[in-house]
Structure 1
Amino acid sequence: MTALVIAEHDNASLKGATLNTVAAAAQCGGEVHVLIAGHNAGPAAAAAAQIAGVSKVIHADAEYLAHGLAENMAAQVLAIASNYSHILFPATASGKNIAPRVAAQLDVGQISDITKVIAADTFERPIYAGNAIATVQSTDATKVITVRTTGFDPAAATGGSAAVETQAAQADSGKSAFLGSEIAKSDRPELTAAKIIVSGGRALGSAEKFNEVMTPLADKLGAALGASRAAVDAGYAPNDWQVGQTGKIVAPQLYVACGISGAIQHLAGMKDSKVIVAINKDPEAPIFSVADYGLEADLFTAVPELIKAL
């Protein structure tokens, strides 16, 4: 058995989700190969070759692979799919875009969002917003899998010495084209990669209060800023800060929830955090059920005092 990991990268370096996916692939048994499909992506291929546990890196280079368009990426994967028993993608926007196309073309069922590998054909995945865990067994010859990266510790980025093999790029599908991107610039860590996250909820009352209370705490801790869906829907915070089932799934070392009641959809996105601190004046708030440390207090008083103490 050999597993193929579809790497996420920016052509110059690997994204962290790739390391978690390699860790999941290693648990499937057999060798682990990594596909780097991009444009002028030699540095990313070299980085992939250094990952502990990777035995081969397959590098396909073409201008139309530069931005990871799903149609072209799926064709590239399908060209070598017959060599693999498992094909794994990070359960990110990109991975979720490509994996279903590959599974459909191979006529196999996709196994989505796995958090544990029990055996080469058996996996665990959360259902019902994480309130239940399903054990899924697949009899398909090729397993097409997306990996919830928070469920696996990342493989070591160094220590490996895999061979890099050049693969001919498949022809451009012509079905889509990259026109441009608008990327928000921020000095803060990216939410899904941050070691510390401070999140605010609807209790903050306004975008001004959200910024006034939460930003100094994030600055003090060197943290990323997050928000509940209620806070995002109310316009207190931008969409890309949303943590939860319909936002971003995070598992930082420290998660500080301020004025967040703890709706099921929010808990589904952050309950795997290593240490959870909750500040809420409602003693019945569900967030306290998953918190390691809970402070029953008015956040407008408690957070400034916490900042002073830090």
Structure 2
Amino acid sequence: MAVKVMKEKCVGCGACIRVCPFDAIQMVDKKAVITDKCTACGQCIEKCPVKAIEKEEGRKGGVNVDEYRGVWVFAEQRGGKLLNVAIELLGEGRKIADELGTELSAVLLGHNIDDVAETLIKYGADRVLYADSELLDVYTTEGYAKVIYDLIEEKKPEILLIGATNIGRDLGPRLSARVHTGLTADCTRLDVDKENRRLMMTRPAFGGNLMATILCPNHRPQMSTVRPGVMEKAKLVEDRKGTVEKIAPKLTDANIKAKVVDVVKSDKPVVALEEAPIIVSGGRGLGNQEGFKLIEELAEKLGGVVGASRATVDAQWIDQPHQVGQTGKTVRPGLYVACGISGAIQHLAGMQDSKCIVAINKDPNAPIFEVADYGIVGDLYEVIPALIEALDNVDDIMEAIKAVSEN
């Protein structure tokens, strides 16, 4: 967009020069001339008494959106095991496809994973686009991006959903750049404008202080990466029918610049927060790193895993994979116990959809109590040991009842 002076109308009055905040207008031969300092703010347009200045609208690029139909979900798998985020996206994709009256397809890349393709049908996909190749056995950026790009060019989907995993965050931008479309990253909510067939992609912005809803009106597909654990999983229906379209991708060794020589798994146990039914999280109220020993003890007693606030991760009291919140993981366990966590909006964004929230905090006015189902005002170093002791007593009682019943 640019500002243009119509010389045949300009009378050289200088009103535009006086009002321009960027000193971007000069007088040449008694006619106003716009320089490269112009930011197209429009103040000169409003002040020109003879309407000699106007904005030139640049031509909008894009595609014929009517040529694109269908909702696609990237079905991420690792070692032949389907990731939970793919099942979550199938559940959300199913809702979107039904609203738009279109087909839901799962895009599966790998080698000798026919059973995964059948599982995707049972989770709600109408069609599985299954690209089978030895070169797709392990994820590579160039290999996966080329195969999916070729499929997009051929079949023209209107929506593509990808999990915001390490792989998804690498693959999504590559694809969007190749097909010249937008990508909304780390979405926490998806809605549909049925009339215009637009996907309304909502994600936190400005540190989680507001939610931005983003549209992609002129380009296709409409692409979004979605945080794991945000959407509800699709339901498995054993007798559901669909179509598996097996594809031999046009892929050679020359297409893959970086090759995976070996996969070395970390010795550290994986912190599967998104899948945990019970999470016990510690915050700055712990006071120091040693406080997490108490959190671990309660988590073990409840059969759960340990979570943490960003403040404790930043303080290096615990590793980042434990972090829950806006810049961590989004979880929705059956039970979430927040210990010494004040409840900043960034943390709440990652756990407020938990089925039951228990908060322990010394401050009765802590924001965490506003979302908690049960709140305990007190010193966590007194409350948690009491809870552990009570749970031990319950175990003893249950053992005694079991012994009596067996006799």
Equivalent residue number for residue 88 of structure 2: 20
CA contact (8 A) 2:140 2:256 kept: no
Q: Identify which of 113, 116, 122 aligns with 2:199.
A: 122
The C-alpha deviation readout for 1:15-58, integer Å capped at 9, x for no partner, is 1111111122222221111111123323322322321x211112
The C-alpha deviation readout for 1:203-241, integer Å capped at 9, x for no partner, is 323433312x11221112221211112222223212211
The C-alpha deviation readout for 1:87-107, integer Å capped at 9, x for no partner, is 111122221211111111111
* TM-score of the aligned structures, taking structure 1 as reference length: 0.90
In the alignment, the residues of structure 1 paired with residue 258 and residue 354 of structure 2 have an alpha-carbon distance, to the nearest angstrom, of 37
Match for 1:203: what amino acid? G
State yes or no: 1:261 paired with 2:342.
Answer: yes
Residue 309 of structure 1: how far off its partner (Å): 2.4
In the alignment, the residues of structure 2 paired with residue 24 and residue 149 of structure 1 have an alpha-carbon distance, to the nearest angstrom, of 12
State yes or no: 1:2 paired with 2:81.
Answer: no
For 1:28, what is the secondary structure of its paired residue? helix
Mapping for residues 113-262 of structure 1, pairs under 5 Å: 113-119=187-193, 120-128=197-205, 129-139=207-217, 140-159=219-238, 160-169=240-249, 170-172=251-253, 173-178=255-260, 179-186=262-269, 190-211=272-293, 213-262=294-343
Work out which structure has the larger RCO, using CA pairs closer than 8 Å and 6 or more positions apart in sequence. Answer: 1
In the alignment, the residues of structure 2 paired with residue 69 and residue 245 of structure 1 have an alpha-carbon distance, to the nearest angstrom, of 28
For 2:78, what is the secondary structure of its paired residue? coil
In the alignment, the residues of structure 1 paired with residue 236 and residue 168 of structure 2 have an alpha-carbon distance, to the nearest angstrom, of 20
In the alignment, the residues of structure 1 paired with residue 266 and residue 274 of structure 2 have an alpha-carbon distance, to the nearest angstrom, of 16
Equivalent residue number for residue 114 of structure 2: 42
Match for 1:271: what amino acid? Q
In the alignment, the residues of structure 1 paired with residue 259 and residue 332 of structure 2 have an alpha-carbon distance, to the nearest angstrom, of 34
Equivalent residue number for residue 179 of structure 2: 106
Cα gap change, 1:114 to 1:260, in 2 (>3 Å): closer
Match for 2:234: what amino acid? A
Match for 1:50: what amino acid? K
For 1:192, what is the secondary structure of its paired residue? helix
Point out the structure with max Rg over C-alpha: 2
Match for 1:183: what amino acid? S
The C-alpha deviation readout for 1:131-172, integer Å capped at 9, x for no partner, is 433333322232112223444221113332322221123334
In the alignment, the residues of structure 1 paired with residue 320 and residue 224 of structure 2 have an alpha-carbon distance, to the nearest angstrom, of 27
For 2:89, what is the secondary structure of its paired residue? helix
Q: Identify which of 57, 67, 70 aligns with 2:141.
A: 70
For 1:220, what is the secondary structure of its paired residue? helix
Residue 296 of structure 1: how far off its partner (Å): 0.9
Residue 294 of structure 1: how far off its partner (Å): 1.6
CA contact (8 A) 1:276 1:291 kept: yes
In the alignment, the residues of structure 1 paired with residue 279 and residue 338 of structure 2 have an alpha-carbon distance, to the nearest angstrom, of 9
CA contact (8 A) 2:228 2:274 kept: no
Structure 1 segments unaligned to the other structure (5+ residues): none
* TM-score of the aligned structures, taking structure 2 as reference length: 0.70
Residue 291 of structure 1: how far off its partner (Å): 2.0
CA contact (8 A) 2:201 2:224 kept: no
For 2:107, what is the secondary structure of its paired residue? strand
For 2:80, what is the secondary structure of its paired residue? coil
Aligned residues: 307
Cα gap change, 1:138 to 1:38, in 2 (>3 Å): same
Q: Over the residues paired in the alignment, what is the CA RMSD in angstroms? A: 2.2
Equivalent residue number for residue 6 of structure 2: none
Q: Percent sequence identity over matched residues?
A: 38
